Amino acid sequence: MTHADGGGSKDASLENAELQTRLASIWSTPSGLWGVLSTVDHKIIGRRYITTAFVFLALGGVLSLLMRLQLAQPEARFIGPDRYNQIFTMHGSNMMFLFAVPVMQAMAVYLVPLMVGTRNIAFPRLNAFSYWIYLAGGLLLWIAFVVDAGPDVGWFAYVPLSGPQYTAGKRADIWAQMITFTEVSALAIAVEIVVTVFKQRAPGMSLDRIPLFVWSMLVTSFLVILAMPAIMIASTSLILDRLVGTHFFNPAEGGDVLLWQHLFWFFGHPEVYIIFLPAVGMVSTIVATFTGRPVLGYMAMVMALIATGILAFGLWVHHMFVAGLPRLGESFFTASSMAIAVPAGLQVFCWLATIWAGRPVFKTPFLFVIGFMVIFVIGGLTGVMVASVPFDTQVHDTYFVVAHFHYVLVGGAVFPLLGAIYYWFPKLTGRLMSETLGRWVFGLIFVGFNLTFFPMHILGLQGMPRRIYTYQPEMPWSGLNMFISLSAIILAAGFILFFVDAIRSARSGPIATANPWGASTLEWAAPSPPPSYNFARLPVVGSLEPLSTGSSVLPVAAGLRIDRRELLVTSVAEAIPEAREASVGNSIWPLWAALATTVTLIWSIFSPWAIVWGSIPVAVSLIGWFWPKGVPEDES
């Protein structure tokens, strides 16, 4: 069984140029439509994922501008209540499920295999499948919105409002099924990341040499794995209540309304850290590179990530402080929510110390990190405020909370993300983004953001509830609302400029070298952009910062086959090589499987039998996916 043709098909004996052509010929994606549809290259899929997520950001941003237009004046009549409710539901659901979570995972799909020094992500076909399912979920939601069937029950779709009695039509079902799509794709990526990080690290990359971004993605992936089942069960129960008359949330028949809230927030709170932790990893990476030294307290940072991940499952009730649960129980959740300030603070202090000890270089990515510090700490502190039960009884469901979560979501996650895009753009595209435009983008977004969202704290304390499509002229809110809406224009200008910069630079930006920032993690050892096989020879890691050991020589490993897609499996703790392993080739089956799943899921909004009949094409496509094709990758 083992291939006997030793040297000839191994890389050890080949010259570099020869090796690269041979590798390219087996790893590359064919050009043309077929290649587009069948590729399993994590870089192509990752880029595709990132781009799609940013399109959703722009769309969600446009929705927010529509809301700001409507709210600028009291009793405005641009948008009626029905449409407004769809818009804010779409804005929230789109931003959370179609932008923030996927974009973070997408960055990981692109970066993690490079940062751990392997050739492709684990389960590449699942990765392709995940993208198609995500795209289908996004299209489902947006097409429904365009034909006026967009969900209108808020991004957490509380029952009974979203239940069979109060939301007729298919709006709530579309929301619930969109959840299924995005969760399936998120779970798939989480599994890939966990296995990639556990088993595909470069030889020598022991646990204490894993880059912090990779650690953050590992913790995030576990959060996804443990949190998403809750929302899957919740949304399935909702669909069942609506479609076949179960009574999970019907108090008249022994169901319970708050059950929904428990399930939703048991997922929903970890969800916000699923968005935030990757951003933390990005900040650590950027801080290290632009201060020219490793982040202080590596172990502490890792522990803080893990602690946040664990605590995340003990906070969900802080979204339900006014639902009428026992007060004593609620106090426990005040304590646990406050406790999360400790790991958060620890990380902030470690970054500060790193900057103190290092030599900051004020490039655009670093500017976004500074902006992150200023804004996220405000958002975190308002989080601590709303974690207090009595405080929250006054500000829950007001614009104070809207301010809190935009401070943490935009300041805590989007700022690092934009910094990360400026930072990794050369690796993504081979070109640099504009430093001049970058400064403008940062300035506009930073100023625009604070002007837009800071006043919302005051509005909240002044009694303005959220999710209202209008307010009456006698309320003292119109001045601030007008101010906010005007400021949102500055913010939007910043984002538009960012899009312009990104699109322009991708086409005609200055060509980047392999390591334009002098960074020290492995992805910068590969060319910009990396070839289909990432590394001609797999790097061997001897320290936390493999590229800054002072020498200009990269230690590498040889001996992988070059007549099949092969990568290296290493042990979990010490990353000692265990086996050479085949990595599957391109395949159209993930697309078929995704199509079959999509038809089944959408059909199942209308009839429970869809699950029965739809499972047949799904099963067929899965068998096609896994059935051996007789290629070298399938044989040992």
Query: Smallest distance, Å, CB 28 to another protein?
Result: 21
With CB under 6 A as the contact rule, the residue among 39, 52, 89, 177 that binds ligand HEA is 89
The length of the chain, given as a count of residues: 636
Q: State the residue for tokens 């320290």.
A: 543
Site string for ligand HEA, 327-356 (x = CB under 6 A): ----------x--xx--xx--x--------
Residue 232 touches which of ligand HEA, Cu ion, another protein, none (Cβ within 5-8 Å per kind) = another protein
Hey, which residues does 539 pair with through a beta bridge?
556
Which of 198, 190, 387, 366 has the alpha carbon at shortest distance from 288? 366
With respect to another protein, which residue has the nearer C-beta, 483 or 499?
A: 483
In whole angstroms, what is the distance from residue 214 CA to residue 200 CA? 12
In whole angstroms, what is the distance from residue 491 CA to residue 493 CA? 5
Q: Own/partner pairs for 13-17, CB < 8 Å, 24+ apart?
A: 14/562, 16/536
CA neighbours within 13 Å on the CB side: how many for 293? 15
Q: Are 454 and 49 in contact (CB under 8 A)?
A: no
**What residues from 530 to 559 belong to the interface with Cu ion (CB under 5 A)?**
none
Residue 91 touches which of another protein, Cu ion, ligand HEA, none (Cβ within 5-8 Å per kind) = ligand HEA
Query: Smallest distance, Å, CB 140 to another protein?
Result: 22
- What backbone phi and psi angles, to 5 degrees, belong to 603? -60, -35
With respect to another protein, which residue has the nearer C-beta, 110 or 366?
A: 366
**H-run or E-run covering 579:** strand 577-582
- What backbone phi and psi angles, to 5 degrees, belong to 79? -130, 130
Six-digit token string for 556 = 């590498």
With respect to another protein, which residue has the nearer C-beta, 35 or 624?
A: 624
Q: Are 109 and 46 in contact (CB under 8 A)?
A: yes
Q: Which residues contact 550 (CB under 8 A, 6 or more apart)?
A: none
With respect to another protein, which residue has the nearer C-beta, 225 or 496?
A: 225
Instruction: Please spell the DSSP secondary structure of 41-53, one letter per residue.
Output: -HHHHHHHHHHHH
With CB under 6 A as the contact rule, the residue among 27, 49, 56, 88 that binds ligand HEA is 88
Q: Near ligand HEA by CB under 6 A, which window of 2-10, 11-19, 208-216, 485-493?
A: 485-493
**What residues from 552 to 591 belong to the interface with Cu ion (CB under 5 A)?**
none
With respect to Cu ion, which residue has the nearer C-beta, 201 or 269?
A: 269
With respect to another protein, which residue has the nearer C-beta, 40 or 502?
A: 40
With respect to another protein, which residue has the nearer C-beta, 52 or 382?
A: 382
Residue 247 touches which of Cu ion, another protein, ligand HEA, none (Cβ within 5-8 Å per kind) = another protein
Q: Near Cu ion by CB under 5 A, which window of 131-139, 265-273, 413-421, 579-587?
A: 265-273
In whole angstroms, what is the distance from residue 243 CA to residue 403 CA? 36
**What residues from 453 to 472 belong to the interface with ligand HEA (CB under 6 A)?**
466-467
With respect to another protein, which residue has the nearer C-beta, 83 or 504?
A: 83
With respect to ligand HEA, which residue has the nearer C-beta, 495 or 535?
A: 495
In whole angstroms, what is the distance from residue 120 CA to residue 569 CA? 12
With respect to another protein, which residue has the nearer C-beta, 80 or 169?
A: 80
Closest residue to bound Cu ion by CB: 269
**With CB under 5 A, what is the number of residues at the site for Cu ion?**
1
Query: Smallest distance, Å, CB 157 to another protein?
Result: 10
With respect to another protein, which residue has the nearer C-beta, 47 or 242?
A: 242
CA neighbours within 13 Å on the CB side: how many for 248? 23
With vertex at residue 117, the alpha carbon angle to CA 114 and CA 120, rounded to the nearest 5 degrees, is 65
Q: Are 118 and 196 in contact (CB under 8 A)?
A: yes
**What residues from 397 to 416 belong to the interface with ligand HEA (CB under 6 A)?**
401-402, 404-406, 408-410, 412-414
With respect to another protein, which residue has the nearer C-beta, 166 or 606?
A: 166
Q: Are 525 and 546 in contact (CB under 8 A)?
A: yes
Q: State the residue for tokens 């050369």.
A: 426
With CB under 6 A as the contact rule, the residue among 209, 396, 537, 564 that binds ligand HEA is 396
**What residues from 207 to 236 belong to the interface with ligand HEA (CB under 6 A)?**
none
Query: Smallest distance, Å, CB 62 to ligand HEA?
Result: 5
Residue 73 touches which of another protein, ligand HEA, Cu ion, none (Cβ within 5-8 Å per kind) = none
With respect to ligand HEA, which residue has the nearer C-beta, 318 or 537?
A: 318
Q: Are 136 and 181 in contact (CB under 8 A)?
A: yes
Site string for ligand HEA, 5-44 (x = CB under 6 A): ----------------------------------------
Q: Are 168 and 106 in contact (CB under 8 A)?
A: no
| Residue 128 CB-density burial (10 A; 0-12 exposed, 13-18 middle, 19+ buried) | buried
Query: Smallest distance, Å, CB 383 to Cu ion?
Result: 8
Q: State the residue for tokens 């290259």.
A: 41
**What residues from 103 to 122 belong to the interface with ligand HEA (CB under 6 A)?**
none
Rounded CA Rg of the chain: 25
Q: Is there binding between residue 91 and ligand HEA (CB under 6 A)? A: yes
Query: Smallest distance, Å, CB 164 to another protein?
Result: 11
In whole angstroms, what is the distance from residue 487 CA to residue 490 CA? 5
With CB under 5 A as the contact rule, the residue among 242, 269, 537, 565 that binds Cu ion is 269
With CB under 6 A as the contact rule, the residue among 40, 53, 95, 133 that binds ligand HEA is 95
With CB under 6 A as the contact rule, the residue among 36, 62, 143, 475 that binds ligand HEA is 62
In whole angstroms, what is the distance from residue 131 CA to residue 137 CA? 10
Q: Strand, coil or helix: what is 390?
A: helix
In whole angstroms, what is the distance from residue 634 CA to residue 450 CA? 55
Alpha-carbon distances of 166 from 160, 346, 461, 480, 489, rounded to whole Å: 7, 46, 31, 34, 36
The footprint of Cu ion (CB under 5 A) covers 269
Residues lying near ligand HEA in the complex (CB under 6 A): 58, 61-62, 64-65, 67-68, 88-89, 91-92, 95-96, 99-100, 154-155, 272, 275-276, 318-319, 337, 340-341, 344-345, 348, 377, 380-381, 383-384, 386-387, 392, 396, 401-402, 404-406, 408-410, 412-414, 452, 466-467, 488, 491-492, 495-496, 499
